[in-house]
A and B are shown apart, each in its own frame.
Chain A
Amino acid sequence: MRRLVWTASGAALAGLAPMVLANGWNMPVGVTDVSREIHSLHMTIFWICVVIGVIVFGAIFFSLFRYRHSRGHKAAHFHEHTAVEVVWTLIPLLILVAMAVPATATLKSMYDASDAELDVMITGQQWRWRYEYLGEDVAFLSNLATSREAIEGRQAKGEHYLLEVDEPLVLPTGRKVRLLLTSDDVVHSWWVPDLAVKQDAVPGFVNENWVEIDEPGVYRGQCAELCGRNHGFMPAVVRAVEPERFDAWLAERQAAASEAALGLDREWGMAELMEKGEAVYGTICASCHQPDGSGSPPAFPALAGNQALIDDRRRHIETVVNGVAGSAMPAFRGTLNAIELAAVITYERNAWGNDTGDVVQPSAIAERLAD
């Protein structure tokens, strides 16, 4: 009977182990050299811990069964043994040295971002990422694409619930890419597990990391450092494509960017600014000031019916463009272009019954930005 129990529990453990070690329960192996090295470090130290655990817990449970008072066992009297104590101080020390050697090597390669072929600036903002391909004139924002309805349970949750964005960071495979990280507001942390890149984005500092992806694919992660209310709704998604496709994509984006700049000279109508403004407001401003402009005071003031905003157009523009020092309101001059700024300011001045009738022209904003 007893043997049966042992066999059964042994079989259960043996069955469980592969399941536990399979993906979804364990750290992903990932798609870079660094991620594979980290995974193998992780597994090595895991098994070292398992072995130590089996010995220590084995000794405990053996003693608990063997030396029970209820079985009439009499306690021995030893309580010191210098040699034994020296040995179990030295052996762990040696194990630690053995672990430190490969860890040091991996860490060194992780810190070597030299010879990168592409530089990408990643800027954290409450609550989105901004990606800028340095020297390529391509930059865009990457926002959560999961709908509010899905989050609040009024709509089915898709496969990539909370890990989907409107525009992923596109990177080439097989090229070393240097990632430069900073933040516009609080500390964020950009993390994609399959790339084994997790690096804090700290306001006022630029951190460095790098990645060289082996396989095309979509790799999903999210912000890892608590950054305020929507910290859980700030995914970081990377789409890795072959180098040729990446170059084509980059050229396409460059063309689109120069086309967008063309709209600066002409006179914009109220309707088109309102339409564009509503879209910008929805992705950028609504997370704090709410879709209906009601805000969440005291940190985020209401915009609907905000008399200071309605009365003072100059100050409104100044606030959106340059932010408010010492408050949660960031400067959007680096995040949005002149057309987007003009559109969203026009929208805020006319939506939700603000009805000022003001039309803010992109050209005016462009002049303001040039100052």
Chain B
Amino acid sequence: MASHLPPTSTPQHSQPASAGLAGEAHAPYRGLRRWLLTTNHKEIGTLYLVFSLSMFFIGGLFAMVIRAELFQPGLQLVRPEFFNQMTTMHGLIMVFGAVMPAFVGLANWMVPLQIGAPDMALPRLNNFSFWLLPVAFAILLATLVMPGGAPDFGWTFYAPLSTTYAPPSTTFFIFSLHLAGISSILGAINIIATILNLRAPGMRMMDMPLFVWTWLITAFLLIAVMPVLAGVITMMLLDINFGTSFFNAAGGGDPVLFQHLFWFFGHPEVYIMILPAFGIVSVIIPTFARKRLFGYASMVYATASIAILSFLVWAHHMFIVGLPLVAELFFMYSTMLIAVPTGVKVFNWVTTLFRGSISFEPPMLFALAFVVLFTIGGFSGLMLAIAPADFQYHDTYFVVAHFHYVLVPGAVFAIMAGVYYWLPKWTGHYPHLRLSQWHFWLSVIGVNLTFFPMHFAGLAGMPRRIPDYALQFADFNMVTSLGGFLFGASQLLFVVVVVRCVRGGERAPAKAWEGAEDLEWSLPSPAPLHTFETPPQVRPRES
């Protein structure tokens, strides 16, 4: 069986975890205390990933409620105010609870292994930044049972709907977002400190795997914009509880100021959710094409350009808010410009495939689907950048289709590709091949059935965030709902695959994939608790 496997040498079993000095330094806690007090990057990485997966299912459950209500016209299952709570919580949980922590989890596990570091630079801070998250999201989820219900103003929480007109639970929402934001900032500081200080001797910046590079850039984005988010929600807090009027027009405030501040955070935020995905895919594609990544340097420069441009495009989310003409033009041009470095990335991936020696293991399937489907999201993004056309697209299901294409078969598929890719390193076993393939194909079909018809619904005139719709949108919505249920159910398979893989399965050697090049594959599988206690010697990447 298992023709997908590379020819293996002798199976390498894990070394005893306590072999090194570090193993003796910590008394190994057991049970709950082990996880609560751990400062080990692998254990914290696992915590992040498990947390993210739980949030993915909770946010997914909210999406299922939305799709069930929208299955046909009319109000059947939920009241409009609860529907609004579902769309809001779905967005918040998926963005801040599922996608971002998943990338931080992958960074925790893989950045030290890919740069030959023994751990993250700031292990105790690492523990703290993880444990802020369960607290933050417990608070956020608790708002569902508070009087007046959970936040119901969309994940973009535009004032004054989120201030003067908001439910009382909004103050808890603000506190929760503050905690999640602190967690992100601390995590980003840790990642930067690790990458800049703990690289193995001989590894120059331009020798780092792209996953490390993209995360380094992402971490700078996080540090730059999370404080802006903190600022804007603090202004909300003051408006709600202390009588200020930042966003209250009746008191001389400016509701549009809210949108500028939010999107100054929000646009870099969407790149925070996609740059590490670029990194994962840039590591996986060369492995399974058995060919070096084409244009390594231009990939790094493209990532950096996207990051810099992300600060100059925020108002393309506000084309219809009444900006002056020059502002519309500036933001239209700057947004279109992002297509250039993004295009460079896609061309580089395609050229990496060209004349490679390609095989289709599960991580590669997800990475390839990422390239194709993310590009579709890129196309709709380019269309949305055309400001005059955006007067028709804005706030419709066309936008919903666009950002779900870049976030689900984009970010989420990249995360899954990463998980399938590194599971052998984490567990010492290959994920079950057949089940992984089923998971992939059901996900791809489900994701397209869900999100493709949304393009049509939006162009035909369906606004987003409505609990009920006119009859001409009925067919699109029914297909979308069916696709959504299929996609949601398929993710249970993912849990089955991961759990089976942790428990057992075909043993993986140190170099689990034939074409894999990076440092982590020099370690035994599963990677012992402490690795690279003596730094490895790295040969510079020849050019």
Q: A residues engaging B (CB < 8 A)?
A: 20, 24-28, 34, 37-38, 41-42, 45-46, 49, 52-53, 56-57, 59-60, 63-64, 67-70, 73-81, 84-85, 88-89, 92-93, 96, 99-100, 103-104, 106-108, 110-111, 126, 150-153, 157, 159-163, 185-187, 189, 191, 193, 196-200, 202-205, 207-208, 220-233, 296-299, 325-328
Interface 0/1 of B448-466, CB less than 8 Å to A = 0000000010011101111
B165 touching A228, Cβ below 8 Å: yes
B74 touching A151, Cβ below 8 Å: yes
Compute how far the CA of A203 lies from the CA of B165 in the bound complex, rounded to whole angstroms.
13
Taking a contact as CB atoms closer than 8 A, the residue among B295, B343, B368, B383 that contacts A79 in the complex is B295
- B residues less than 8 Å from A92 (CB atoms): 339-340, 343
B468 touching A162, Cβ below 8 Å: yes
Assuming the contacts A157-B74, A226-B161, A298-B147, asked whether A70 and B359 have C-beta atoms less than 8 A apart, the reply is: yes
A79 touching B382, Cβ below 8 Å: no
B333 touching A100, Cβ below 8 Å: yes
Q: Which of B249-267 contact A (CB under 8 A)?
A: 249-250, 253-256
- Residue ID in chain B nearest A186 by CB atoms: B161
Q: Which of B288-331 contact A (CB under 8 A)?
A: 289-298, 320-322, 325, 328-329
Q: Told that A34-B388, A104-B332, A161-B73 touch, could you supply 7 new A-B pairs with CB distance under 8 A?
A: A41-B389, A80-B294, A80-B297, A81-B294, A85-B295, A200-B322, A232-B469
Assuming the contacts A24-B472, A96-B337, A199-B320, asked whether A75 and B289 have C-beta atoms less than 8 A apart, the reply is: yes
- Residue ID in chain A nearest B166 by CB atoms: A299
Interface residue B81 (Cβ < 8 Å from any Cβ of A): yes
Assuming the contacts A88-B343, A96-B339, A205-B249, asked whether A196 and B383 have C-beta atoms less than 8 A apart, the reply is: no
Give the bracket for the number of chain B residues in contact with chain A.
35 or more
B389 touching A67, Cβ below 8 Å: no
Taking a contact as CB atoms closer than 8 A, the residue among A89, A163, A204 that contacts B249 in the complex is A204
If over half of A's interface residues share one DSSP class (helix, strand or loop), that class is named, otherwise mixed; here it is mixed
> How many whole Å from B235's CB to the nearest CB in chain A?
15
Assuming the contacts A24-B472, A88-B343, asked whether A64 and B322 have C-beta atoms less than 8 A apart, the reply is: no
- Residue ID in chain B nearest A42 by CB atoms: B389
Taking a contact as CB atoms closer than 8 A, the residue among B255, B353, B357, B461 that contacts A203 in the complex is B255
- A residues less than 8 Å from B543 (CB atoms): 80
A-B contact pairs, 29 of them (CB 8 A): A25-B460, A45-B386, A56-B350, A57-B372, A63-B350, A63-B355, A67-B289, A68-B358, A73-B357, A75-B355, A75-B356, A77-B292, A81-B294, A85-B344, A88-B343, A103-B386, A107-B332, A111-B325, A151-B74, A151-B75, A162-B73, A162-B468, A162-B470, A186-B165, A197-B391, A200-B322, A232-B80, A232-B463, A325-B250
Interface 0/1 of B199-224, CB less than 8 Å to A = 00000000000000000000000000
Interface residue B148 (Cβ < 8 Å from any Cβ of A): yes
> How many whole Å from B154's CB to the nearest CB in chain A?
5
A67 touching B355, Cβ below 8 Å: yes
Minimum-distance CB pairs A-B, first 4: A204-B249, A232-B466, A207-B322, A76-B355
Taking a contact as CB atoms closer than 8 A, the residue among A38, A76, A328 that contacts B391 in the complex is A38
Assuming the contacts A45-B383, A107-B328, A186-B160, asked whether A160 and B470 have C-beta atoms less than 8 A apart, the reply is: yes
Taking a contact as CB atoms closer than 8 A, the residue among A89, A157, A191, A202 that contacts B463 in the complex is A191
Assuming the contacts A151-B74, A151-B75, asked whether A20 and B456 have C-beta atoms less than 8 A apart, the reply is: yes
Interface residue B538 (Cβ < 8 Å from any Cβ of A): no
A203 touching B249, Cβ below 8 Å: yes
Taking a contact as CB atoms closer than 8 A, the residue among B368, B372, B461 that contacts A193 in the complex is B461
Q: B residues engaging A (CB < 8 A)?
A: 3, 73-76, 80-81, 84, 147-148, 152-154, 158, 160-161, 164-165, 167-168, 243, 248-250, 253-256, 289-298, 320-322, 325, 328-329, 332-333, 336-337, 339-340, 343-344, 346-348, 350-359, 368, 371-372, 375-376, 379, 382-383, 386-389, 391-392, 394-396, 456, 459-461, 463-472, 543
- Residue ID in chain A nearest B259 by CB atoms: A187
B389 touching A204, Cβ below 8 Å: no
Compute how far the CA of A327 lies from the CA of B166 in the bound complex, rounded to whole angstroms.
9
Compute how far the CA of A164 lies from the CA of B276 in the bound complex, rounded to whole angstroms.
47
- Residue ID in chain B nearest A331 by CB atoms: B250
How many residue pairs link A and B with beta carbons under 8 A? The number is: 291
Compute how far the CA of A104 lies from the CA of B176 in the bound complex, rounded to whole angstroms.
42
Taking a contact as CB atoms closer than 8 A, the residue among A26, A78, A233 that contacts B460 in the complex is A26
A163 touching B465, Cβ below 8 Å: no
Compute how far the CA of A104 lies from the CA of B243 in the bound complex, rounded to whole angstroms.
42
- B residues less than 8 Å from A226 (CB atoms): 84, 153-154, 158, 161, 464-465
A110 touching B391, Cβ below 8 Å: yes
B394 touching A299, Cβ below 8 Å: no
A38 touching B158, Cβ below 8 Å: no
A205 touching B256, Cβ below 8 Å: yes
B161 touching A224, Cβ below 8 Å: no
- A residues less than 8 Å from B333 (CB atoms): 100
A225 touching B250, Cβ below 8 Å: no
Assuming the contacts A99-B336, A226-B84, asked whether A25 and B298 have C-beta atoms less than 8 A apart, the reply is: no
A26 touching B386, Cβ below 8 Å: no
B461 touching A298, Cβ below 8 Å: no
B394 touching A198, Cβ below 8 Å: yes
Compute how far the CA of A226 lies from the CA of B466 in the bound complex, rounded to whole angstroms.
8
Compute how far the CA of A321 lies from the CA of B332 in the bound complex, rounded to whole angstroms.
43
- B residues less than 8 Å from A78 (CB atoms): 294, 355
- B residues less than 8 Å from A200 (CB atoms): 320-322
Taking a contact as CB atoms closer than 8 A, the residue among A153, A205, A227 that contacts B76 in the complex is A153
> How many whole Å from B80's CB to the nearest CB in chain A?
5
Compute how far the CA of A168 lies from the CA of B354 in the bound complex, rounded to whole angstroms.
59
> How many whole Å from A226's CB to the nearest CB in chain B?
4
- B residues less than 8 Å from A53 (CB atoms): 375-376, 379
A67 touching B354, Cβ below 8 Å: yes
Compute how far the CA of A25 lies from the CA of B76 in the bound complex, rounded to whole angstroms.
26
- B residues less than 8 Å from A89 (CB atoms): 340, 343-344
Taking a contact as CB atoms closer than 8 A, the residue among A69, A186, A197 that contacts B359 in the complex is A69
- B residues less than 8 Å from A126 (CB atoms): 165
> How many whole Å from B63's CB to the nearest CB in chain A?
17
Taking a contact as CB atoms closer than 8 A, the residue among B74, B372, B386, B394 that contacts A152 in the complex is B74
B291 touching A41, Cβ below 8 Å: no
B80 touching A153, Cβ below 8 Å: no
Taking a contact as CB atoms closer than 8 A, the residue among B340, B356, B386, B387 that contacts A63 in the complex is B356
- B residues less than 8 Å from A186 (CB atoms): 158, 160-161, 164-165
